[in-house]
Structure 1
């Protein structure tokens, strides 16, 4: 099992949107490294959902419900992929970027080092610490 973090602007597609749908396609990724991470996601992998933009915080936990398949919006057939995600739980207390940067176990996350990347792997201990810190 691997652990992941996905990022989205809440005004474009936020945690509330995923919760309302119950399950949805995570598509539109047009970065090669992020695409490779989507391809590596496996059924049941846990995913932190991060709101970028103004709020900059981990807001919920989802899981992968369908592994990589061709992105239906890839009209040029360039090999972009998507996965399906299902929301599992909202965090009681969202964990913001400043809290992540201030924690020695979290400040090495790709979220801090590669801030423009929208899909990234994280360590199990980082996932667990964020979830635990939010309760």
Structure 2
């Protein structure tokens, strides 16, 4: 089973928001490489929910993909901050997936701790210059992070 890491700003959408809702749509991704990763996701894949652009960024929990990629409706909504004026019903280059809550960590795994773990040195998240909001996680990296909880 493929594993993923997906970033969200907690004041926009947090692991606790997902827990409260139970499920939601992961949308607004406007980077082609991250979009391509979304398109590879399949129902049942799991992901680390990473809180970014906050006081203490880190992995806050786990979610799963409940619906594989489909056209992102926010690209067509002029009121959305993710609106793309070039997108149309016929040609929408952006994708979304549906997600559901699995687990919130009692304490998020902070980025500094992840960077200090030798087994995670190849994880895209900890590499200098990596800013993708969606990225794959290897089986070994997944198991390492789970063991760090």
* Deviation readout 1:104-133 (Å, 9 max, x if unpaired): 111221112253210000111111111221
How does 1:1-135 map onto structure 2 within 5 Å?
1-53=1-53, 54-75=55-76, 76-77=87-88, 78-113=92-127, 114-134=129-149
The number of equivalent residue pairs is 134
The TM-score with structure 1 as length reference comes to 0.94
- Partners of 1:24 and 1:115 in 2: CA distance: 26
Quote how far apart the aligned CAs of 1:93 are: 3.0
Quote how far apart the aligned CAs of 1:55 are: 1.4
Single out whichever of 27-36 and 16-25 deviates more from structure 2. 16-25
What runs of 5+ residues in structure 2 fail to find an aligned partner?
A: 77-86
CA RMSD between the two structures: 1.1
The TM-score with structure 2 as length reference comes to 0.85
Larger CA Rg, structure 1 vs 2: 2
- Partners of 1:27 and 1:21 in 2: CA distance: 16
SS at match of 2:75: coil
Which runs of 4 or more aligned residues in structure 1 lie more than 3 Å from their structure 2 counterparts after TM superposition? none
* Deviation readout 1:11-50 (Å, 9 max, x if unpaired): 1111111111110000000000000000000110010000
SS at match of 2:74: coil
